[in-house]
Structure 1
Amino acid sequence: MQRYQLLTQNEIEQIHENSLRIMENVGIIFTYEPAKEILKKAGAKVDGDLIRFPREMVERELKNVPSSFTMYARNPKKNVEITCEKTAYVGPYGSPFVMDMDRGRRSGTLDDFINIVKICDKLDNIDIQSHISCEPNDIDVKIRAQVMVYNTLKYSDKPLMGSVYGYEKSKQCIEMASMLFGGMDAIKDKPVMASIPCTLTPLSYDNNMAGAIIAYAEAGQPQLVNSLSMAGMTTPATLAGLVSLQNAEVLAGIVLAQCVNPGTPIVYSASGSNADMSTGSLAIGSPEDAVVSLVNGQLCKYYQIPCRISGALSDSKMMDSQAAYESAITLMMAQMAGGNFILHAAGIIDTYSTTSFEKLIIDDEIIGYLRRINQGVTVNEETLAYDVIEEVGPRGIFLTHDHTLDNFRDEFYRPRLSNRQTYDQWHREGCTPIEKVANAKWKQIVADYGEPTLPADVDADLRKYIEAL
């Protein structure tokens, strides 16, 4: 699939140069002492908490970033290759609330978390489990991250993400994941858990996120070094200014990771958008969000680093038409931008605050459509089908021809949710709107899930690990 090029190569280079100027002259704040020591040793200029990055240092460390890597799952059939060309889709992340058509909006619980993990495990188009599918607010915050990792490992055999709440907690989550693969030494060159350490915009990192970068880099695990920037609030109102500042922040985190462990797998992660100036709140279903995604995609191709872009985003407060059109647009832009790691690919409404059970199902359908579009058109003698056209001829019937029977399953996307019945058929079967179909489907997935497949001995070891914390 051709990628949409919003900016010229010269304009991308101008943004890159502006980011380097910001890093070298304005600087980035790091308050975490170990990070400051690492950066100083590598050639950064340290003035208290303000770190200035010489151009040559940034360019040197960027060369160490791999352009591809594999995320390993406990089910090898579900390993995911992360490259600058392929696209992987990842579940919702970070919502404190959940919503469904039966119980409405409420604080997330561990039961909700587990059900979302189960649903994402069974959805064909979700490749990787996120860390915070929803916030399990009924679990003590001291062990919440570890409990989420345990239950993700238990109820899904797909690759997963882990905590970024400081060095120690990050290391604990990595150690838990490593127990399925033979321990910490076994995963140093085998990525099994990704993280998403975030900047404190503008132009700073707090102790937790800098510590997480170091912990994951030491273990050789992938990092989605991330900035969530708000044009007009935490960055300049101009999108070129936003992207320049955001890029400087992300590059600083990437440099830190490479200084710790050259070759640490990185996914360039940026999710900037605009502030709604009438309310002061972040807008994620906006066209500006889509534009920033397109620019970030081009920047990543310039650096030859895999790119994270947010997927099916909406500011709507429920699964309605606004949620549908905003999500379809933002997900399509993520695909057109060349996103390689699409976080929030399903389920998100309410400006990241809520995960909708019905929207998980609906967004999975949208991803299916996009995957078919991305597949493109194969052109060869077989697909041109001249002999078939000649044989059938004018006013002939292609429906029963062997060529049709041989090709339609691979050529056509078959919806799992969308209704293509005639009106009369749909009416006879109850006129069910798609939201109710999605409601029934997620419930059926949970009901049919069955027993988890985590080996009993590993399950016991993970439980003991958490109990010992």
Structure 2
Amino acid sequence: MRKFIDDATIQSAYMQVLEILEKVGVRFEREDVRELFKKWDARVEGDKVFIPRNLMEEALDSTPKQDYTVPAKKRVVAATPFSNAPFILDDDTGVIRRCNIDDAVKLYQINETSTLYECTNPGCADPVDNDAPDQFVAQVAMSLKYSNKYPSIGLRATGSNSQNGDVYGSARRALRLVREFYDVWDEPVMSQGICPNPPLAYDQECLDNLCAAIDEQQAISIFPCSLGFMTGPESIMEIVIHDFAMSLAGLAFIQLKSPGHPTSLCEFSTISNIQTLQPNYGSAEGIFIQVIYYELCKYLSIPCVICGSYGDGTAVDYQAGMEAMLTTTLPFSLTEVNEIWCYPGILAGFACGSFHKAILDEEMMLYTNRMLQGVEMTVDPKLPELLAAGMDAGTFLGIGSMDTYRRDNYMTKIFNKWGIAQANNTEKTNLAYKVQQVLESRIAAYQLPERSAAQKKLLQPYLPSQCQYR
């Protein structure tokens, strides 16, 4: 089985993680959280919790496990567009601006009109013209109005997007709204992403969101977002150990508070550009960090995914395409991973999104899935007859099977494959023009999901005025 790091290194890294939890500790900035750890005999000094090895292993025992031995078809799949970008690149002018409600609705239309996407999430973080009393709940309500897909919410309640600054209350109302909407009370109906605060900390706001997810019995994904040499150590291996310790500390709290609670991990950390003090996501190093973290999760059978389609640029260009392709395909050559989850349209380290890049990333994913599909190795017993007929005709056009051709060949509808004939086909080879056509056709094809009168009544008070049912 292919691994990026060997078993001895994995075991050594895990031992170092346990030592950090036990001797260095992790900050938890909520007193009730620290009190819970105290009840389980963890040492607490100020806001710092020191988690003993036996307690951590007990928490791991109650964590639902993933069977990594089950064979699965290799593929890339889209979570949602943009992840949670607060800014939008205007693809026509090149201007970067704050996202608005129209952008958010447009993202749901893109999300719903492609089978590549399997989740829904407020991809435009905190639209500038959101006029709802509780802006966080409003964004979750919009996902329920505009999408039929599983809510996997990466956005979290904050002091600025929650009504009266009540982060826990806002988060709890949003998660409860999803339950009421689906009228499902005995299992999770969504997942909530939780990003700790490096180095080695969970602040009040983070814990408010985490506690709300636990109290509403929704699935939780912990995803550290450390930056090497800034909020985490400067070496790749050390930043992974730091992140894994921070993640396991959060997992320990979840399992102590609610044993058996569905919890998964994911890594969004990367190296930093020391010249600009910004993250470098469209890089091989960022993928190395994800892969090592993934293999640590696999070692403990903790559910984990690797993500791709990153781009550091602020333009849809050669760099954005190269980085998206690199970060989507490299993990398959480094480790035995079955799926890569993508967030099409990401630019500038999650800060910015582009609708044109989203469409181009989707096409890149289709190409990647074709690559992973491989080749059908069976040979038609009638091949000698086909070759004889082709030799007589001097061509296989009209003789061969179009179905077989389509099975073995992926023909892009977007990328330029006109070769030297492109000079006489300017319109057909204009990439931006073709992408815009695809975008417009997808938006035109979107149909607002049908909702019952009860569901509409439930959502209506929470929606921004622009999105309310008429």
Q: TM-score, normalised to structure 2's length?
A: 0.85
Indicate if the aligned counterparts of 1:65 and 1:262 stay in contact, CA closer than 8 A: yes
Indicate if the aligned counterparts of 2:280 and 2:349 stay in contact, CA closer than 8 A: yes
Find 1:130's aligned residue among 121, 134, 137. Answer: 121
Measure the CA separation in 1 of the matches of 2:73 and 2:133. Answer: 37
Find 2:228's aligned residue among 225, 231, 246. Answer: 231
1:158 matches 2:149: yes
Find 1:264's aligned residue among 244, 261, 278. Answer: 261
Q: How does 1:312-461 map to 2 (within 5 A)?
A: 312-336=309-333, 337=335, 345-377=343-375, 383-385=377-379, 387-392=381-386, 404-405=401-402, 407-421=404-418, 423-424=420-421, 427-428=424-425, 430=427, 432-461=429-458
Question: Shift of the alpha carbon at 1:412?
Answer: 3.7
Indicate if the aligned counterparts of 1:97 and 1:135 stay in contact, CA closer than 8 A: no
Question: Shift of the alpha carbon at 1:269?
Answer: 1.3
Question: Shift of the alpha carbon at 1:88?
Answer: 4.3
Indicate if the aligned counterparts of 1:100 and 1:439 stay in contact, CA closer than 8 A: no
Provide the residue aligned with 1:93 in structure 2.
Answer: 83
Provide the residue aligned with 1:78 in structure 2.
Answer: none
Change (3 A) 1:213 1:116: same
Provide the residue aligned with 2:22 in structure 1.
Answer: 24
Indicate if the aligned counterparts of 2:264 and 2:303 stay in contact, CA closer than 8 A: yes
Indicate if the aligned counterparts of 1:201 and 1:234 stay in contact, CA closer than 8 A: yes
CA RMSD of superposed structures (Å): 2.9
Question: Shift of the alpha carbon at 1:10?
Answer: 1.3
SS in structure 2 at match of 1:151: helix
Measure the CA separation in 2 of the matches of 1:359 and 1:445. Answer: 15
Per mean C-alpha deviation after superposition, the further-off stretch among 340-349 and 157-166 is 340-349
Question: Shift of the alpha carbon at 1:87?
Answer: 5.8
SS in structure 1 at match of 2:129: coil
Equivalent pairs, count: 444
Measure the CA separation in 1 of the matches of 2:132 and 2:461. Answer: 18
Change (3 A) 1:40 1:451: same
SS in structure 2 at match of 1:230: coil
Question: Shift of the alpha carbon at 1:188?
Answer: 3.4
Change (3 A) 1:340 1:152: farther
Provide the residue aligned with 1:181 in structure 2.
Answer: 182
Measure the CA separation in 2 of the matches of 1:28 and 1:372. Answer: 44
Deviation readout 1:66-95 (Å, 9 max, x if unpaired): 2359xxxxxxxxxxxxx9987642122221
SS in structure 1 at match of 2:97: strand
Provide the residue aligned with 2:162 in structure 1.
Answer: none
Measure the CA separation in 2 of the matches of 1:68 and 1:153. Answer: 28
Deviation readout 1:244-279 (Å, 9 max, x if unpaired): 101101111111122222222222111121111122
Measure the CA separation in 2 of the matches of 1:144 and 1:151. Answer: 11
Find 1:290's aligned residue among 277, 287, 296. Answer: 287
Measure the CA separation in 2 of the matches of 1:56 and 1:350. Answer: 41
Measure the CA separation in 1 of the matches of 2:417 and 2:15. Answer: 51
Amino acid at match of 2:305: R
1:118 matches 2:109: yes
Measure the CA separation in 2 of the matches of 1:41 and 1:399. Answer: 76
Measure the CA separation in 1 of the matches of 2:61 and 2:237. Answer: 25
Find 1:41's aligned residue among 39, 42, 48. Answer: 39
Deviation readout 1:109-159 (Å, 9 max, x if unpaired): 011111111111112212112234343111258622111111111111111
Change (3 A) 1:455 1:372: farther
Provide the residue aligned with 2:51 in structure 1.
Answer: 53
Measure the CA separation in 2 of the matches of 1:344 and 1:168. Answer: 31
Indicate if the aligned counterparts of 2:418 and 2:429 stay in contact, CA closer than 8 A: no
1:204 matches 2:201: yes
Measure the CA separation in 2 of the matches of 1:302 and 1:68. Answer: 11
Question: Shift of the alpha carbon at 1:423?
Answer: 4.0
SS in structure 2 at match of 1:227: coil
Change (3 A) 1:433 1:66: farther
1:220 matches 2:217: yes
Indicate if the aligned counterparts of 1:315 and 1:349 stay in contact, CA closer than 8 A: yes
Deviation readout 1:348-378 (Å, 9 max, x if unpaired): 1122111101011011111112223333456
Indicate if the aligned counterparts of 1:112 and 1:134 stay in contact, CA closer than 8 A: no
Change (3 A) 1:424 1:84: closer
Deviation readout 1:422-451 (Å, 9 max, x if unpaired): 543673352543233212322222233244
Measure the CA separation in 1 of the matches of 2:56 and 2:404. Answer: 50
1:147 matches 2:138: yes
Task: Give unpaired runs (5+ residues) of structure 1.
Answer: 70-82
Change (3 A) 1:449 1:144: same
SS in structure 1 at match of 2:271: strand
Measure the CA separation in 1 of the matches of 2:446 and 2:239. Answer: 44
Per mean C-alpha deviation after superposition, the further-off stretch among 155-164 and 107-116 is 155-164
Task: Give unpaired runs (5+ residues) of structure 2.
Answer: 158-166, 465-470
Aligned-pair identity (%) = 25
Q: How does 1:54-69 map to 2 (within 5 A)?
A: 54-68=52-66
Amino acid at match of 1:385: V
